[in-house]
Chain A
Amino acid sequence: MIINSSNFKRSLNDIKNNKFLHAVTFITIMLSILIVGTFVLFASNAGELLDSWKSGIKVIVYLENNISSSEKDRTRLEIRDFEEVEDVLYVSGEKGLEDLKNQMPRQKAIFENLKINPLPDSLEVYLKKDKKDIGVIENLAAKIEKFQSVTEVEYGKEWIGRFVKIISFSRLAAISMGAVFFMVTVFIVANTVRLALYSRKEEIEIMKLVGADDRFIKSPFYIQGILHGFTGGAGGLLLLFILFFIFSSNISHDFSSLIIKIKFISFKTLLSILFCSTLVGWLGCYISLKQFLRNT
């Protein structure tokens, strides 16, 4: 591809002369990027939410009632020796009940009427930062459950599993949608270029007759494709930002107590999306030009 003022001028002239065709391509790329960007935005925020929840994950280990203090201590130390464990805290039944009362002040009366403390002694197991995956937690829980001194292990298996599934699904959806829209957009750009090529068939034949090589003929089309991809991508991301801004302004009033603040796509991801949309423009041109110049 030769990028010079003459080829750039030829590209812009063609865009000026075929406004409708080029507008359709631009809008198609823009909308595709908007849709893909929405999925990426959702996936990245959901991922962050999961990470934030994961940081609060602890495994509660309920101990048998009739074991000695030394056995409780031995259990605590043995659990602490597992490589995925950061720390283990002992919580007596009394302390557990006290914490519960503080957490549920409106139900204080119910707790005060209790004749016996229903809560057993427990251990709160805190995991290392990089060991908070559901698989690791499940394995650890299985290992702890084998202890004679342990009656039950609790770690919110249900909600973690469901949430991980939702996150994985949304990531998969973002990738799948990205792939589908990539192909659809490449196809549309390729068709736009093909139409432009057929409308300029005679011009291209004349250029060939006066000694222009394929590179010279192709260059303005590649410039157009790259311009379509880049501007369409930038337009889509700008539209996404505007919609995000409106949405996040409203949601912050309604859900001000959300654990995490909803963030826009990171700069690095934005650049990657922009690069992909530019690649779409280039690829659409490449496919059409290869086919067209082979047939002329």
Chain B
Amino acid sequence: MSISESQPIVRMFNIYKRYEQMPALSDISIDINQGELIFITGPSGAGKTTLLKLLYMAETATAGQLLIGGVNLSRIKPSGLYLLRRKFGIIFQDFKLIPSMTVFENVAIVLEASGEKKKVIDSKVSKILRNVGIEDKKNLYPPSLSGGEQQRAAVARAVIGEPDIIIADEPTGSLDPESAKIIMDLLREFNEKGTTLIIATHSQDLIRQSRGRVIRLKKGQLVEDLL
């Protein structure tokens, strides 16, 4: 089954987002299919991060409808939000690692929160840390890691729960080319297995290196949507 034939996992209908009176997004309508690789690009302040935040409900749209897996997000109660978020693996621009927890604990928390057994957690976390190349740092705390190592830990946390959708905000922004390649290869591996991958990035190199759909935003408006 080709991507275009599959049922859209994300549907946005005329989304608007305003912060007080400042428009951040205007009239955005996008369908994203299961297993797609999407790059959201545009200059700073274009609304890339805001668009991602709407997806995992860190923000709510001022107007318009947003559906994930057929569920209208406006109908999700705060108490049920965690179920939506378990569909996502999120790589934040500022990593958002918990400083009082070790790298291992930061990654394991996703599985602990969903009630996995300790043995499974130990095995999965060790494997994913090995894949991103920071297994030897597992007992260290995030403040003692370099930016690149923190980014890898953030990626490991995002993919550990084998989510339906991975959202990445500048996932290679603080990485050297070699580390960036390791991370992108890992993300592509998940994408090839059917995970939808939505990446917000400035990097035109990253977009060129991958064959994916490119959504370009400018001043909160959709200016280009190229397959």
Contact = CB atoms under 8 A, between A and B. Distances in A.
Interface of A: 5-6, 13-14, 17, 203, 206-214, 216
Nearest to B87: A211
Given A6-B118, A203-B98, A209 B58 contact: yes
B11 interface: no
Given A13-B100, A216-B112, A209 B79 contact: no
Given A14-B100, A206-B96, A211-B82, 16 more contacts: A6-B118, A207-B98, A207-B113, A209-B56, A209-B90, A209-B96, A210-B85, A210-B109, A210-B110, A211-B85, A211-B88, A211-B114, A211-B161, A212-B113, A213-B113, A216-B113
A212 B108 CA distance: 12
Contacts, number: 47
A212 B82 contact: yes
Contacts of A5: 118
B188 interface: no
28 contacts: A5-B118, A6-B108, A6-B118, A14-B100, A17-B100, A203-B98, A203-B100, A206-B97, A206-B98, A207-B113, A208-B81, A208-B85, A210-B85, A210-B90, A210-B109, A210-B110, A211-B82, A211-B86, A211-B88, A211-B113, A211-B114, A211-B161, A212-B82, A212-B109, A213-B82, A214-B79, A214-B82, A216-B113
B59 to A, nearest CB: 12
8 closest A-B pairs (Cβ-Cβ)? A212-B113, A211-B86, A213-B82, A211-B85, A216-B113, A206-B96, A203-B98, A210-B110
Contacts of A213: 82, 113
B17 interface: no
Per DSSP, chain A at the interface is helix
B157 interface: yes
Nearest to A213: B82
A6 B110 contact: no
A207 B109 contact: yes
Contacts of B56: 209
A5 B119 CA distance: 12
A54 B140 CA distance: 70
A203 B142 CA distance: 13
A230 to B, nearest CB: 24
Nearest to B85: A211
B83 to A, nearest CB: 8
A6 B122 CA distance: 12
A13 B109 CA distance: 15
A206 B142 CA distance: 14
A116 B97 CA distance: 102
Contacts of A214: 79, 82
A211 B114 CA distance: 8
Contacts of A14: 100
A208 B100 contact: no
A183 to B, nearest CB: 29
Contacts of A6: 108, 112, 118
Interface string B120-132: 0000000000000
Contacts of A203: 98, 100
Contact of A210 (B100, B113, B118): B113
A208 B157 CA distance: 13
Contacts of B161: 211
Contacts of A212: 82, 109, 113
A181 to B, nearest CB: 33
A77 B62 CA distance: 94
B126 to A, nearest CB: 16
A257 B197 CA distance: 86
B166 to A, nearest CB: 13
A145 B85 CA distance: 84
Contacts of B90: 209-210
